[in-house]
Amino acid sequence: MGWVDGFRYAQPILLAYLGGKGFMGKYEAVAVFDNDESGYLKWVEANPRGFVANLDKAKNILRYPMYPMVHKATHGSISSPTRRNYTTGEYFKFCSTDLDTLEEYSQEKFGRRLTYCQQCMR
């Protein structure tokens, strides 16, 4: 277990085992990955029907007005094990198997609606 910006998150194996549900409160089905490449890639692998939202760590709406952007966990641009810097560069990820929960989390935590990827979320 860990904490990011006041929200508790579980390791990906626990979320997969619990089917995206747990005992962690209002956002029990949201996993946050910041500087955790291996944990993030494990979550994506364990949750192929899940969703991944990408947000810049600075949360700069003027520079990145399209973020947070949500993708299907299987979208190659956010889940290929051959790429790097998914969570260690300018961005972090928040993930869930439930799109409505991810949307609610984004609005409450960041004050922004999710933008849907035009490639994988059509």
Residue spans of the domains in the chain: they are: 2-116
Q: Bigger pLDDT: 4 or 41?
A: 41
In this prediction, residue 82 carries a pLDDT of 75
Q: Bigger pLDDT: 115 or 57?
A: 115
For residue 9, pLDDT over 50 is answered with no
Record the pTM: 0.76
Q: pLDDT digits over 71-97, tens only?
A: 999 998 888 767 778 888 888 999 999
In this prediction, residue 80 carries a pLDDT of 77
Q: Bigger pLDDT: 59 or 16?
A: 59
Q: pLDDT digits over 10-58, tens only?
A: 444 333 333 333 334 566 789 999 999 889 999 999 999 999 999 888 8
Task: Output the DSSP codes for the chain.
Answer: -EEETTEEE--HHHHHHTTT--SSSTTTT-EEESS-HHHHHHHHHH-TT-EEEEEETT--TTT-TT-SEEEETT-HHHH-TT---SSSSSEEEEEES-HHHHHHHHHHHHS-PPEEPTTT--
